[in-house]
Amino acid sequence: MDVPLSFSTPRGLDMSGSVAAEPVEMEGTEDDQPGSGSQNERDPPVPLDQSIRGFMVNVGGEDNSKFLPASELEELITAKNVSRELHRIQLSGDIQTVTTKVLEEGPAVNGESATRKKIFALLCLMDKVRWIVNFIQEGIYDFELPFRFENGGIYRKFGARIFLFDEWKHHDHFTFEHMQGQVIAPYFKFNLITGDTYSQYSLHKDVVLPFIEEATEQSVYGDRLIGGTSEVRKVRIHSAHYEHTGSAIPQTMAYFAIKMIHNMEAAEGPPTREMDAYRRLNPKQHPHIVRLLASYHHKRRRHLIFPWADGNLFHFWRVGYPERNSPSRGSALAKWLIGQFLGLSQALVCIHDLTSENPSPGDYNKKHGRHGDLKPENILWFRSPSNPNSTESWGTLQISDLGSTEFHDTISQNVRASKVGHHPETYKAPEFDKMQEVSPKADIWSFGCVLLEFIVWFASGYQGVEDFSTARKDDSNLLVPGDHFYDYHKADQAVSVKKSVSDQFQSIHDLATSDLIVDLAAFIESRILLADPSERATCQEIETRFARLQRLCNASDDYCTRRTIRPPVRSSTGGSNKVPVSLSAEQLAAYDENLRDSASHRALSITPSAYENDMISASGGTFSTHSTQQIVEKDKVVGPLRGERPTLRARFPERMRRIIESCFKADIF
């Protein structure tokens, strides 16, 4: 049984609840006095604060802050060390009882145990250990940190005022306020069990985050990535400050992506569209949808925590495996390819037709979603965690960046495009009009574009993907050529699949070395990349077809590697199968400004291709590390800006051409 604490009225709380000016000391036995133990008085113990400072860890990045990891706190604040420190400062009183009161665990509050280890460590750092008795007297525990310093008073996290601080000097108040964040680094729980969503944390501004390493500029995927609405950085979280349940993340995972939302109003307001999407999708635990691990609010900014990917699909093609024959286009890679196609199509089914397991009020009917921003940069690539260096560890692809995703009821499946958010020009569906409504079928078009490029990579390596992009730009009927997959025809007010896209399908039919690739290309051409959205396949049809092709692959390696299907006799239909499209006046004006056959073009507009920027998406966001701009006269290149590859075209009078050439020579651009 613990020895009860006994305080005399003059040195404890008076009847009004105030605290005496001097720290309270307790009466104790002679054996509790300094020097009565085994410690040699000629060799006094090292102050505990020195050990605490030695075990504090520097945070990564530009911040010079430090924090005491929870694991080190447990190693340092032990019965032996607490008792020794109390003897060292010659605390008069029952040291055994004080030690017990520092270490004892009371009833847990909000999952936090009721000890005083963190408070004791703080007092050691401030050389105010004697005041631990006053904290015990007022019944203050670690779970009540951080204290609130406001309106001239100091309060517990849950409201009650702390009177002992009335006797402290103002500079001690300041020191405690700013040092308390060093011992209360958050402990993140990443819930990965089906049925759970993600944890949310509201952190005090002075809390030091347990991020012990940030990416350096030399890291391949490690640069701090800054976009218009968010910033993503790669961090390592101290192992004592996170845990996860389930098996979606390997226990050895060290790095995470922290996505900071720039919009302060979004940080203070309700959950963002992206957070709402993950709230709905996380419980599905789909292996091809990236999982939001947790979110936290810190320093007036909202942050999202994701697994750190090895790259995205674009980097898989360009950096991971750019060569045509490496890895070998054998049955193993073919089976992996169709497995990823099937998995991504199932993920899209989940987004397009989602039934929440635990819907909140108002969610019951909102089960139809759209991604709104499908592109290779938003499909993350995770290597196989079991054997990342294996030649067949091509890993898993996961759809990410749900910031444009919205869910609606059956009646309002269509939504105005301006509400969908930014949509990539390269993968934009023909019916996409910022002033009109788009349906989930716009995702199907974007998905088909990505799948076709994936097949081109399989057949020709990354150089084939780049050549295909160039062919689409060369085939563009715009003044500023774009590498999107369709053309708009002003005279007919219609759209059609580009001839270069039809030619690419023909090339695949002619040159493909396996029945799998022929069947994939035929299905994408006939059921997915259709200018008329009403004619496109649904996600469910795509999933069904890919599942059938996977069964054929599993049944026979020959289907993956041999060609038995004769190429069809066909002619290129690019541009001939025009589909009328109803566009708003604003969208028509935008096309009119940029069509080659338009007489109204007067200004140079720049539409970067998806392949003109070096991009990476660590948590789903797209971030450009350089921009590309070129100016040409008719089809002749005048010169690239900053040495970039020329891709843009415009017409200028001779005088303007000379002016531009002079600017390049003078290095004005």
- Judge whether 381 lies within some domain: yes
User: Which whole-number Å values give the CA distances from 629 to 116, 225, 416, 573, in the listed order?
Assistant: 61, 21, 31, 32
User: How far apart (Å, rounded) are the C-alpha atoms in residues 371 and 358?
Assistant: 21
CB atoms within 10 A of CB 117: 21
Name the strand (E) or helix (H) holding 302: strand 301-307
What's 580's domain CATH number?
1.10.510.10
Of the candidates 173, 134, 172, 135, the residue with the CA atom closest to the CA atom of residue 153: 173
Give pLDDT, residue 85. Answer: 96
Containing structural domain, residue 203: 188-307
Tell me what the mean pLDDT of segment 177-203 comes to.
84
* pLDDT for residue 512 is more than 50: yes
* pLDDT for residue 532 is more than 70: yes
Tell me what the mean pLDDT of segment 211-228 comes to.
55
Q: Report residue 612's pLDDT band, with 50, 70 and 90 as the boundaries.
A: very low
Give pLDDT, residue 46. Answer: 84
- Give the orientation angle of helix 331-352 with respect to helix 273-281, to 10 degrees: 110
Give pLDDT, residue 36. Answer: 42
Same domain, 560 and 609: no
User: How far apart (Å, rounded) are the C-alpha atoms in residues 537 and 667?
Assistant: 51
Q: Report residue 436's pLDDT band, with 50, 70 and 90 as the boundaries.
A: low
- Judge whether 47 lies within some domain: yes
What's 253's domain CATH number?
3.30.200.20
Same domain, 349 and 215: no
- Judge whether 138 lies within some domain: yes
pTM: 0.75
In whole angstroms, what separates CA 116 from the centre of its chain? 36
- Judge whether 233 lies within some domain: yes
Same domain, 438 and 546: yes
- Judge whether 4 lies within some domain: no
Same domain, 636 and 532: no
Same domain, 470 and 589: yes
Q: Judge contact between 242 and 185, C-beta under 8 A.
A: no
Tell me what the mean pLDDT of segment 41-59 comes to.
83
* pLDDT for residue 527 is more than 70: yes
User: Which whole-number Å values give the CA distances from 609 to 259, 431, 469, 643, 646, in the listed order?
Assistant: 25, 19, 8, 16, 12
CB atoms within 10 A of CB 294: 20
Same domain, 284 and 404: no
Give pLDDT, residue 370. Answer: 75
β-strand pairing of 242-245 with 188-191: parallel
SS3 label, residue 666: coil
DSSP state of 19: B
* pLDDT for residue 268 is more than 80: no
User: Which whole-number Å values give the CA distances from 335 to 285, 289, 517, 559, 612, in the listed order?
Assistant: 23, 20, 11, 10, 31
- Judge whether 360 lies within some domain: yes
Q: Average pLDDT over the chain, rounded to whole?
A: 75
* pLDDT for residue 459 is more than 90: yes
Using left for φ > 0, alpha for ψ between -120 and 50, and beta otherwise, residue 407 falls in beta
Same domain, 364 and 491: yes
Q: Judge contact between 500 and 474, C-beta under 8 A.
A: yes
Same domain, 540 and 623: no
Same domain, 175 and 30: yes
CB atoms within 10 A of CB 479: 19
Same domain, 588 and 609: no
The model's pLDDT over 294-340, given as tens digits with 9 standing for 90+, comes to 889 999 888 999 989 989 999 999 999 999 999 999 999 999 999 99
User: pLDDT exceeding 90 applies to what percent of the chain?
Assistant: 45
Q: CA-CA-CA-CA torsion for 489, 493, 495, 496, nearest 10 degrees?
A: -60
Last-in-domain residue among 534, 567, 593: 593
The model's pLDDT over 224-242, given as tens digits with 9 standing for 90+, comes to 555 557 788 899 999 999 9
Give pLDDT, residue 650. Answer: 40
Give pLDDT, residue 198. Answer: 78
Give pLDDT, residue 584. Answer: 67
Give pLDDT, residue 372. Answer: 82
Same domain, 416 and 531: yes
- Judge whether 1 lies within some domain: no
Helix ranges (DSSP H) in 556-653: 557-561, 585-594
Tell me what the mean pLDDT of segment 142-161 comes to.
90
Tell me what the mean pLDDT of segment 139-167 comes to.
91
Give pLDDT, residue 369. Answer: 67
Tell me what the mean pLDDT of segment 570-595 comes to.
64
CA angle 508, 511, 514 (to 5 degrees): 85
- Cα-Cα-Cα-Cα dihedral sign, residues 161, 166, 170, 173: negative
The length of the chain in residues reads 669
Least confident segment among 175-184, 217-226, 252-261, 434-443: 217-226
Tell me what the mean pLDDT of segment 380-385 comes to.
86
Tell me what the mean pLDDT of segment 107-117 comes to.
76
Same domain, 334 and 464: yes
- Judge whether 574 lies within some domain: yes
Last-in-domain residue among 291, 307, 323: 307
Tell me what the mean pLDDT of segment 530-539 comes to.
94
Q: Report residue 14's pLDDT band, with 50, 70 and 90 as the boundaries.
A: very low
Last-in-domain residue among 562, 593, 624: 593
* pLDDT for residue 37 is more than 50: no
Report the domain count for the chain.
4
Give pLDDT, residue 432. Answer: 75
Q: Judge contact between 372 and 423, C-beta under 8 A.
A: yes
